[in-house]
């Protein structure tokens, strides 16, 4: 039986030794992840990154460099028979100090469905177990290696 593929794209926003994290309520499922989302049909991956960050943060990306693409099998948590491929970019945002985010190690899940809250986590305190999904957990390991944390 053939399965489907789903592509998602995420921003790794690092500023002053902090990284931006997203706490989300998706149909009552509470999750912690990096900012970003799904690539729509007919859309390029980088185009999706710019769109997602504009939608979620009302922010403009000034620079984006590829960091990681999933290199192991991961089934989608929400779509049966669908393989998930996630692409992560290190990004720089315009007017980063104006982002609606506070510094916190604790998740701040929104009460309303389909909403997100953002927070800054000190890079040296970033832990894989602070994230919901396996690929994000793997990316945290890679970030710790890259930034000697």
In tens, the pLDDT along 117-142 reads: 999 999 999 999 999 999 999 999 99
Contacts of 2 (CB under 8 A, 6+ apart): none
What's the CATH number where 12 sits? 3.90.79.10
How many domains does the chain contain in total? 1
Boundaries of domain holding 112: 4-146
* Distance, CA of 148 to chain centre: 21
DSSP per residue over 71-135, as a string? -S--B-SSSTTEEEEEEEEEEEETTGGGSSEEE-SS----SSTTEEEEEEEEGGG--GGGSSSHH
pLDDT in tens, the chain (149 residues): 577 999 999 999 999 999 999 999 988 899 999 999 999 999 999 999 999 999 999 999 999 999 999 999 999 999 989 999 999 999 999 999 888 889 999 999 999 888 899 999 999 999 999 999 999 999 999 999 999 87
């Amino acid at each position: 039986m053939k399965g489907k593929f789903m592509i998602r794209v995420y921003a790794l926003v690092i500023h002053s030794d902090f990284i931006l994290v997203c706490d989300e309520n998706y149909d009552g499922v509470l999750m912690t992840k990096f900012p970003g989302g799904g690539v729509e049909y007919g859309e390029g991956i980088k185009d999706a990154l710019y769109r997602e960050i504009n939608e979620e943060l009302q922010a403009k990306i000034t620079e984006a460099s590829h960091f990681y693409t999933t290199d192991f099998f991961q089934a989608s948590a929400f779509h049966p028979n669908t393989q998930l491929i996630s692409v992560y970019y290190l990004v720089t945002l315009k007017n980063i100090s104006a982002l609606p985010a506070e510094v916190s190690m604790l998740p701040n899940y929104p009460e309303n469905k389909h909403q997100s809250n953002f927070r800054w986590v000190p890079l040296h305190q970033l832990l894989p177990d602070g994230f919901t999904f396996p690929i994000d957990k793997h990316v945290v390991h890679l970030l710790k290696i890259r930034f000697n944390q």
